[in-house]
Amino acid sequence: MKKVASIPLSDISRLEIVVTNCKIGLEQTRAKTGADYLLNGGMWNGDGTPCRGLKVYGKLLSLSPWGDIAGYGWNTPGDIRLKAKWDDVDNYIATSPLILDGEPLDKIPYDSAQGGRRPRSAMGIVGNSLLLFCSSDAMTPEEVRDELADRGCSSAMMLDSGGSTQCYFNGETIKADRLVHNWIAVWTKPNEEKENPVGTYRVTPSIGVNVRSGPGTNYEKVTAYAQNTLVTVLYAQDGWGRTDKGWVSMAYLEAVQSDRKTDNGIVIQDDFIPVGRKNRPGKSNPDEYITIHETGNISKGADAAAHASYVKSDSAANDYVSWHYTVDDHAIVQHIPDSETAYHAGDGKDGPGNNTSIGIEICVNLDGDFEKAKENAASLVRLLMSEHGIDIDHVVQHNHWNGKDCPYTIRHTGTWDAFLALCAGGEKPVSELEAAVDKLFDAGLINSPDYWKAGDYSVENVHHLLIKWAGSI
Ligand SMILES: [Zn+2]
């Protein structure tokens, strides 16, 4: 039997290591703490003292790592991270890391007594959620690592295993007889207190804003954001927001999620790929170019929303495929913040297309209006050009980066220049043919210019026109 719990960090009111010193079991620990989730924690020696890294309520109980071992550390639930430092956090537990910085470890640090197939428990981070894993089925450490990688963990660590493996996950239990030294304990907020997902913000002060290692000015400065940087706040508490780089005071941020709108009135919807997925590498992007693509998917219903769910799928993650925006004839959805790298240009992980451009996919679904989708894409291009100071000569085709025949329809209908004109001018350019129709109307040779402009250049109409034209000479 396997039990897996995924708990949004913003829903957690308390996350603690509860030490029971091998004195009481799961049921008693539950009764005593009232925790909503309990999972057996770290390891201990034969004499009952804990081993590897363990720090509880600011007190270091053990520090006997071997080699360069990483553990989960946190002051508040929102800032939990797998890291090698324990001195700046109140809570720290180190056993055997499985996934570090999005990379499954080739060689998992454990000794022979921990190897082989046995029941296992582990913890990890998926997007903005804490994942707790408990399996009474026997597994190797490598199998646990692979399963947690498949579940999208950006970091993960094995806990104690074998006879210690047990859990209570909000009503579901895996029981074991062994009394354990400590537990990972989670209390969640009552439903009415759960925070709304937080979103995209713009840095407002002209001098920028400091990014700190924790939610307060007493925490050290780790970096800074310049004015107008768009940042994604993953979790907020006490007036501070956590981004992928650290904590920022919310007083210096303004929300852009709902008021970010193109000049033709389309509100940009955020539907981000979770942080830590393989196709959201998190590298910073200086936003020097805009790259135009077409989805190449003509299926009915292959619109922006459908592509938003595709880029969040395991298959997109495993194929390292991502881009920033999908545009159809009625919606624009953003999948990755502009300031981050995405994998759309086909020029490699370090390629300039992937690392310096914002990727836009235009939908070509047959039940959509491609001309309208292009107009919406052009309005998005205008918005991005003004937000990031990008010139029209830095609006390029996917083809520019790796030679791919994309955007296919635009390339094959010879309408790239018209698309750029649409981006630059904001108005649909008048074609030569339309201008000619206007001229003939003014000369009295045709009567219904709109009828002609709608595209009815049939042979019969052209014959009538020639006869009329001849008669006028
Ligand atoms: Zn493309």
pLDDT digits (tens, 9 = 90+) for 314-347: 999 999 999 999 999 988 999 999 999 999 999 9
Q: Token pair for residue 294?
A: 């077409």
Over the stretch 23-49, which tens digit does the pLDDT of each residue have? Answer: 999 999 999 889 999 999 998 888 888
CA 448 / ligand 1 centre spacing (Å):
40
- Our CA dihedral for 406, 410, 413, 416, rounded to 10 degrees, sits at -110
* pLDDT at residue 193 is higher than 60: no
Q: Using CA atoms, how far apart are residues 105 and 231, in angstroms rounded to an integer?
A: 29
CA 317 / ligand 1 centre spacing (Å):
17
CA 357 / ligand 1 centre spacing (Å):
12
pLDDT, position 360: 98
Within this chain, do residues 100 and 168 fall inside the same structural domain, yes or no?
yes
| Over residues 119-141, mean pLDDT | 94
SS (H, E, C) the chain: CEEEEEEEHHHEEEEEEEECCCCCCHHHHHHHHCCCEEEECCCECCCCCECCCEEECCEEEECCCCCCCCEEEECCHHHCEEECCCCCCCEEECCEEEEECCEECCCCCCCHHHCCCEEEEEEEEECCEEEEEEEEEEECHHHHHHHHHHCCEEEEEEEEEHHHCCEEECCEEECCCCCCCEEEEEEECCHHHCCCCCCEEEECCCCCEEEECCCCCCCCEEEEECCCCEEECCEEECCEEECCCCEEEHHHEEECCCCCECCCCCEEEECCCCCCCCCCCCCECCCCEEEEEECCCCCCCCCHHHHHHHHCCHHHHHCCCCCCEEECCCCEEECCCCCECCCCCCCCCCCHHHHHEEEEEECCCCCCCHHHHHHHHHHHHHHHHHHHCCCHHHEEECHHHHCCCCCHHHHHCCCHHHHHHHHHHCCCCCCHHHHHHHHHHHCCCCCCHHHHHCCCCCHHHHHHHHHHHHHHC
* pLDDT at residue 400 is higher than 70: yes
Strands of 209-212's sheet, edge to edge? Answer: 221-225, 209-212, 247-249, 240-242, 235-237
Within this chain, do residues 150 and 274 fall inside the same structural domain, yes or no?
no
Within this chain, do residues 153 and 36 fall inside the same structural domain, yes or no?
yes
CA 305 / ligand 1 centre spacing (Å):
18
The rounded mean pLDDT for the chain is 88
Within this chain, do residues 156 and 41 fall inside the same structural domain, yes or no?
yes
Q: Token pair for residue 426?
A: 């904001």
CA 406 / ligand 1 centre spacing (Å):
5
Within this chain, do residues 246 and 315 fall inside the same structural domain, yes or no?
no
Note whether residue 330 is domain-resident: yes
Within this chain, do residues 82 and 117 fall inside the same structural domain, yes or no?
yes
- Our CA dihedral for 296, 388, 321, 277, rounded to 10 degrees, sits at -150
Q: How many domains does the chain have?
A: 4
CA 99 / ligand 1 centre spacing (Å):
31
- The residue among 193, 196, 169, 198 whose CA lies nearest residue 183 is 169
Within this chain, do residues 57 and 110 fall inside the same structural domain, yes or no?
yes
Residue 383: which CATH number?
Answer: 3.40.80.10
pLDDT, position 197: 46
Report yes or no: 9 and 155 within 8 Å, Cβ to Cβ.
no
CA 98 / ligand 1 centre spacing (Å):
35
CA 285 / ligand 1 centre spacing (Å):
18
CA 110 / ligand 1 centre spacing (Å):
44
Note whether residue 247 is domain-resident: yes
Residue 239: which CATH number?
Answer: 2.30.30.40
CA 152 / ligand 1 centre spacing (Å):
25
CA 229 / ligand 1 centre spacing (Å):
26
CA 375 / ligand 1 centre spacing (Å):
18
Within this chain, do residues 406 and 441 fall inside the same structural domain, yes or no?
no
pLDDT, position 293: 98
Provide the residues around ligand 1 (an ion) whose CB is within 5 A.
293, 398, 406
Q: Using CA atoms, how far apart are residues 333 and 366, in angstroms rounded to an integer?
A: 19
CA 294 / ligand 1 centre spacing (Å):
6
Within this chain, do residues 159 and 112 fall inside the same structural domain, yes or no?
yes
Classify residue 98 by burial, with Cβ atoms within 10 Å: 0-12, 13-18, 19+.
Answer: buried
Q: Using CA atoms, how far apart are residues 290 and 304, in angstroms rounded to an integer?
A: 18
- The residue among 379, 373, 361, 358 whose CA lies nearest residue 424 is 379
Within this chain, do residues 436 and 330 fall inside the same structural domain, yes or no?
no
CA 42 / ligand 1 centre spacing (Å):
47
Within this chain, do residues 333 and 282 fall inside the same structural domain, yes or no?
yes
Q: Token pair for residue 66?
A: 């071997």
Note whether residue 261 is domain-resident: no
Note whether residue 262 is domain-resident: no
Report yes or no: 276 and 127 within 8 Å, Cβ to Cβ.
yes
pLDDT, position 269: 83
- Taking the CA atoms of the chain, what radius of gyration do you get in angstroms? 29
Over the stretch 273-326, which tens digit does the pLDDT of each residue have? Answer: 988 899 999 889 999 999 999 999 999 989 998 999 999 999 999 999 999 999
Over the stretch 58-101, which tens digit does the pLDDT of each residue have? Answer: 888 888 755 567 899 999 898 899 987 888 889 999 999 999 98
CA 407 / ligand 1 centre spacing (Å):
6
* pLDDT at residue 473 is higher than 60: yes
* Residue 70: other Cβ atoms inside 10 A: 23
* pLDDT at residue 427 is higher than 60: no
User: Residue for token digits 């304990």?
Assistant: 185
Over the stretch 147-192, which tens digit does the pLDDT of each residue have? Answer: 999 888 999 999 999 999 999 999 999 999 999 999 999 999 876 5
Note whether residue 225 is domain-resident: yes
CA 276 / ligand 1 centre spacing (Å):
23
Over the stretch 98-115, which tens digit does the pLDDT of each residue have? Answer: 999 889 999 988 888 788
CA 284 / ligand 1 centre spacing (Å):
21
Residue 21 identity (one-letter amino acid): N
CA 259 / ligand 1 centre spacing (Å):
28
Strands of 71-74's sheet, edge to edge? Answer: 59-62, 54-56, 91-93, 71-74, 81-83
Note whether residue 321 is domain-resident: yes
CA 323 / ligand 1 centre spacing (Å):
10
pLDDT, position 45: 84
Domain that holds residue 208: 200-255
Within this chain, do residues 372 and 441 fall inside the same structural domain, yes or no?
no
Is the pTM higher than 0.85?
no
Note whether residue 9 is domain-resident: yes
Residue 149 identity (one-letter amino acid): A
CA 226 / ligand 1 centre spacing (Å):
31
CA 361 / ligand 1 centre spacing (Å):
7
CA 55 / ligand 1 centre spacing (Å):
49
CA 230 / ligand 1 centre spacing (Å):
25
What confidence category does residue 258 fall into, taking pLDDT thresholds of 50, 70 and 90? low
215, 231, 255: which is the final residue of a domain? 255
What confidence category does residue 440 fall into, taking pLDDT thresholds of 50, 70 and 90? confident
**Lowest mean pLDDT segment, chosen from 20-24, 256-260, 396-400, 406-410:** 256-260
